[in-house]
């Protein structure tokens, strides 16, 4: 499972890296170039995945969309990780009023449906890559916070933490030196699973017209544009962006499940002297 997930994620990463280069070299048409192409042309030797109703090459749009999806997802999940982990450690270690305030705020965010909250934030922030990443980031911060906070609260009374505290180590040193590397071990699983969910949420925002500008090649936006032509038998404009979204989510999910299984196996094995 881990191997297949890694292969899929690496494949989309390579596609995201080489597509702008191929466009710059002129080996692929621009993702928004469509005036010279037939409109809603079926797949052929010139356009392997056909063209959409604006005459744009669906294959190029799908390839370029992988870069946009990975860029937004990495920004969103990375920012959520950077914000959620320190807040969770501070809340779990110090407790008291700080813990109550942070828990109240995170529980309020966590109680809202992911897509609904991201829709509201995307509407308020407007369209754009950074705005979409910020909307998704706020959605995933509570998940990192809750996981890290619970682990920190459990581990702060361990003997090695008490020993460090009795030797004069301050809270900042204990959090950085002893607790961080213990609570961070479970983050990669949540990271990959959140990345898979973020691809779907980003696609949902684009499908609803709340994601990125129309000129940006994004799978959800392309599905929204192609929705009107599906009843007329034009299937290729929805098949290829939808298939790309499905396989990337599948790869990230496989990777997350594989990492979780590997970590569980590592914890089950007895530690050597």
Does any domain span residue 75? yes
Average pLDDT of the chain is 87
- Whether 59 and 122 have beta carbons less than 8 Å apart is answered as no
Q: Average pLDDT for residues 189-198, to the nearest whole number?
A: 91
Does any domain span residue 51? yes
Does any domain span residue 192? yes
The structural domain count of the chain equals 1
What's the pLDDT score for residue 268? 42
Q: Which of the residue ranges 5-9, 26-30, 110-114, 256-260 has the most confident prediction, judged by mean pLDDT?
A: 5-9
What's the pLDDT score for residue 36? 56
Does any domain span residue 111? yes
Does any domain span residue 273? no
Query: At CA 138, angle to CA 193 and CA 251, rounded to 5?
Result: 20
* pLDDT reading at 265 higher than 90: no
* pLDDT reading at 37 higher than 70: no
What's the pLDDT score for residue 271? 40
What's the pLDDT score for residue 273? 37
Does any domain span residue 87? yes
Q: Average pLDDT for residues 116-139, to the nearest whole number?
A: 89
Q: In this predicted model, what pLDDT tens digit does every residue of 2-11 receive, in sequence order?
A: 889 999 999 9
Q: Average pLDDT for residues 158-176, to the nearest whole number?
A: 85
Q: How far is 224 from 151, CA to CA, in rounded Å?
A: 42
> At 183, which CATH number?
1.10.3720.10
Residue 273 or residue 132, greater confidence: 132
Q: Please state the pTM of the whole predicted model.
A: 0.87
What's the pLDDT score for residue 149? 92
- CA distances from residue 151 to 32, 34, 71, 85, 180 in whole angstroms, order as listed: 48, 53, 30, 11, 10
* pLDDT reading at 179 higher than 50: yes
Question: Percent of the chain having pLDDT more than 70?
Answer: 95
* pLDDT reading at 19 higher than 90: yes
Q: Is 144 exposed, middle or buried (0-12, 13-18, 19+ CB in 10 A)?
A: buried
Q: In this predicted model, what pLDDT tens digit does every residue of 62-115 receive, in sequence order?
A: 999 999 999 999 999 999 999 999 999 999 999 889 999 999 999 998 888 888
Does any domain span residue 226? yes
pLDDT-derived band at 35 (thresholds 50, 70, 90) equals low
What's the pLDDT score for residue 245? 95
| DSSP assignment of 124-136 | HH-SSHHHHHHHH
* pLDDT reading at 165 higher than 90: no
Does any domain span residue 272? no
What's the pLDDT score for residue 266? 56
Q: Average pLDDT for residues 230-251, to the nearest whole number?
A: 92
* 178 CB-near residues (< 8 Å, 6+ apart): 160, 161, 164
Quote the domain boundaries for residue 26. 2-267
Residue 271 or residue 241, greater confidence: 241
* pLDDT reading at 270 higher than 70: no
């Amino acid at each position: 499972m881990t191997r297949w997930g890694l292969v899929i994620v690496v494949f989309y990463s390579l596609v995201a890296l080489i597509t702008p280069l191929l466009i710059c070299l002129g080996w692929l048409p621009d993702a928004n170039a469509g005036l010279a192409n037939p409109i809603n042309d079926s797949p052929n030797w010139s356009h392997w995945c056909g063209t959409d109703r604006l005459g744009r090459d669906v294959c190029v749009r799908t390839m370029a969309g992988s870069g946009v999806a990975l860029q937004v997802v990495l920004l969103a999940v990375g920012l959520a990780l950077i914000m959620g982990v320190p807040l969770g450690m501070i809340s779990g270690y110090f407790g008291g009023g700080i813990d109550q305030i942070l828990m109240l705020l995170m529980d309020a965010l966590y109680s809202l449906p992911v897509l609904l909250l991201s829709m509201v934030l995307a509407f308020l922030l407007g369209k754009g890559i950074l705005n979409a990443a910020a909307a998704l980031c706020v959605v995933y911060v509570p998940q990192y916070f809750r996981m890290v906070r619970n682990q920190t609260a459990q581990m702060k009374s361990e003997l090695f933490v008490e020993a460090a505290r009795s030797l004069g180590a301050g809270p900042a040193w204990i959090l950085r030196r002893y607790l961080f590397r213990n609570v961070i071990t479970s983050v990669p699983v949540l990271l990959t699973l959140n990345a898979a969910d973020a691809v779907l949420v980003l696609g949902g925002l684009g499908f609803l017209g709340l994601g990125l500008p129309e000129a940006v090649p994004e799978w959800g936006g392309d599905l929204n544009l192609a929705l009107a032509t599906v009843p007329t038998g034009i299937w290729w404009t929805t098949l290829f962006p939808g298939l790309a979204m499905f396989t990337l989510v599948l790869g990230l999910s496989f990777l997350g499940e594989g990492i979780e299984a590997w970590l569980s196996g590592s914890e089950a094995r007895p530690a050597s002297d």
